[in-house]
Amino acid sequence: MQSVLSSASLGHPALHKLDRYRKGHLQQAQNRAQREYQQKLADSSSNDPQLQVNWFQSMKYAFEEMDDVFKLVNAPDGFHFLDVGCCPGGFSSYILERNLKTLGTGLSLEVSKGGHDFLLEEQYRHRYELVWGDITSYQLGNVPLPGRTPFPPIHPSTFALVLLDGHPLRTSVSDGSTTKNPQTDQPVHIIGDCLLISQLIIGLTTVAQGGTVIIKLSRPERLISAQLMWLFDSLAADIRTWKPVCIHATRGTFYLIARGMGFGVNAVMYDGVLQGLKALWEELILSQRRLRDNDLDFIIEKAVLQGPYSGRLTALSAHIWEVQEAAWKGWRQQVKNGF
């Protein structure tokens, strides 16, 4: 279990309520049932064509929500974007449709390894290159490790927009204590942590100076998420957060939008952080372990997040907690009423 910051230091009523929901026994059972239901739906969509189409459409709506607010795709001369964990392709489809001068590259896990199908409409495919592969298997460290695949031939610092939305697959087999990916037999949380660090390395390496990174994170009060929010706040000229209401509203996941990468107040950290992440990636690969609480302390320590940074963190997170709390309230009401 990875640690969370104390809700007292963040002090927001919606977070306190979410904490209470999580602690309640009854709620735990409801949370679990609800989470399992949503996970099953997401996972089974990899087999059911109609669910896949629905999910693809939901991803398009989710990106549209973000674009309505942050104007992410307006560029008269177009731009290149990289979409990591791109399948089924809703985000990419939205961008290619809205800006006819954009060119995209997508990276996604092969369907034969449990990844999702690629549903991008035919009319956009000539502006898109899809590279199938497991991004955690690429050579992403400071030193080469045996048995790794070379990173695809993508030039560093070239993409004006990089999307990091890869998500571990839970097409799960439970051995009673852990949920494992049947393809790799690895516990899903270990894969998820490695996927997160791999995506960060890819994102920081491929985004152009001044470009935008959008990354999916989970629960801003989690130490690791808060450390990454602080990181992007330091490296980028501007960061915002967005919790789509059209997907997973009851879940803690949200998107962080970092614009003006390389122009933040502490952008001088950029290369050092990248090196630190690569070293951590090597450690995760070699030891096949989960992220530990102090793994990202080389970026920023918990005391700063709970102290001087807590006001900023709360300001960035308040609407995420509020959306999640409102969605939970709706779910509880539905449970009360019986479905």
Query: DSSP of 162-196, one letter per residue?
Result: EEE--------EE-SS-EE-TTT--BHHHHHHHHH
Q: Rule CB under 6 A: say whether 203 interacts with ligand SAM.
A: no
Beta carbon of residue 149, minimum distance to ligand SAM (angstroms, whole number): 11
Q: Rule CB under 6 A: say whether 141 interacts with ligand SAM.
A: no
Answer left, alpha or beta for residue 11, where phi above 0 means left and psi between -120 and 50 means alpha. left
Q: Rule CB under 6 A: say whether 115 interacts with ligand SAM.
A: yes
**Which parts of 78-97 interact with ligand SAM (CB under 6 A)?**
85-91
Binding range to ligand SAM, per CB under 6 A, among 15-23, 95-103, 131-139, 257-265: 131-139
Q: How far apart are CA 73 and CA 257, in angstroms?
A: 13
Cβ count near 36 (within 10 Å): 12
Q: Rule CB under 6 A: say whether 167 interacts with ligand SAM.
A: yes
Q: Rule CB under 6 A: say whether 162 interacts with ligand SAM.
A: no
Of 155, 112, 156, 157, residue with least CA distance to 132:
112
Of 307, 231, 337, 331, residue with least CA distance to 9:
307
Q: Rule CB under 6 A: say whether 166 interacts with ligand SAM.
A: yes
Spatial contact of 217 and 256, defined as CB atoms under 8 Å apart: yes
Q: Rule CB under 6 A: say whether 188 interacts with ligand SAM.
A: no
Total chain residues near ligand SAM (CB under 6 A): 23
Binding range to ligand SAM, per CB under 6 A, among 108-116, 143-151, 252-260, 266-274: 108-116
Spatial contact of 189 and 172, defined as CB atoms under 8 Å apart: no
Q: Rule CB under 6 A: say whether 211 interacts with ligand SAM.
A: no
Q: Rule CB under 6 A: say whether 64 interacts with ligand SAM.
A: no
Helix (H) or strand (E) holding 105: strand 103-108
Comparing CB distances to ligand SAM, the nearer of 214 and 273 is 214
**Which parts of 231-260 interact with ligand SAM (CB under 6 A)?**
none
